[in-house]
Copies of this chain bind each other. A is one copy, B any other.
């Protein structure tokens, strides 16, 4: 089996044996900015597949359809699926729907929106086999997913990004690239509440680094001003949030500001979780399975809300959705004999 996770900036593939053994997975990730040379996608896919070796069937997840390369999500999903068909004409290809079922590539082309931004579904469905009752909270660089799982079933109400935002199941705030000015309209500075600038002057990575929550080597995204990642450079960027500089806002004041913004990010995620939780019975008893670069934020929130933690998703696996969708397909073929 081979699983794919085709993103806007990186394309990931993972090969697993048909028997479904996790520890025999081999994976591969290639930088490929889809908006630069979209027509080269089939070629890239072919290369990656050759590198990993031949397989009986493939499973697909994606997020690249949201790229500016495409005018609509439907167009993006169609483009990606056609690139796969072109690259692997002879191979059986299954696409995971946000409804949680596998659909053949040719049929998926008939309702492309059911297959947009579906990579969280793979990880959650796979997690549901290990923790049949839990919340999956996955905080990446810019977004946070909140998915309740009961008796092995995903209880998400949203399926596409917009309905997931409406339900609180997708929160557009993350550990690194998010702009702090989306969390607050005003921040405390020198005894007053000051409105923030609507510019990309600084990132949550600056906040977390100054607040002592993130190590410099975990600051893996580009900085907002192209300068370095030292605390002093984070200080200078954060001062810009209220149109100040390091002469006007001292290092200590920037620390205070970072800790305020850290609180605001926790509050934002907390509010969304409470909204999802308000649909469920005894949500405070469901353990949280936390994942992603922002799992330190999620662990702090779990502790504050006094909810238990579940065994975390395997962080060390690269290309997790690619691996999980391949393992899910292996199992589905074994159990249900797809096709």
Contacts and interface: CB of A to CB of B under 8 A. Distances in A.
Contacts of A256: 274, 277-278, 283-284
A188 B157 contact: no
Dominant secondary structure of chain A at its interface with chain B: helix
Contacts of A188: 168, 271, 274-275, 277-278
A243 to B, nearest CB: 16
Nearest to A275: B188
Contacts of A193: 275
A252 B281 contact: yes
A191 interface: yes
A274 B252 contact: no
Contact of A278 (B189, B271, B275, B277): B189
A267 B262 CA distance: 12
B167 A282 contact: no
A270 interface: yes
Contact of A279 (B167, B191, B278, B281): B191
A194 to B, nearest CB: 9
Contacts of A282: 252
Interface in A254-282: 255-257, 259-260, 263, 267, 270-271, 274-279, 281-282
B274 A260 contact: yes
A253 interface: yes
Given A252-B281, A277-B256, A157 B191 contact: yes
A278 B190 contact: yes
A297 to B, nearest CB: 13
Interface in A14-49: none
A71 to B, nearest CB: 32
B259 A305 contact: yes
A263 to B, nearest CB: 6
A231 B300 CA distance: 29
A195 to B, nearest CB: 14
A274 to B, nearest CB: 5
Nearest to A167: B191
Contacts of A190: 278-279
Given A192-B278, A256-B284, 12 more contacts: A167-B191, A188-B271, A188-B274, A188-B278, A189-B278, A190-B279, A191-B275, A253-B278, A256-B278, A260-B278, A263-B270, A304-B304
Interface of A: 157, 167-168, 188-193, 252-253, 255-257, 259-260, 263, 267, 270-271, 274-279, 281-284, 304-305
23 contacts: A157-B191, A188-B274, A188-B275, A188-B278, A189-B278, A190-B278, A191-B276, A191-B279, A252-B281, A252-B282, A255-B284, A256-B274, A256-B277, A256-B283, A256-B284, A257-B278, A259-B274, A260-B274, A260-B278, A263-B270, A263-B274, A263-B305, A267-B267
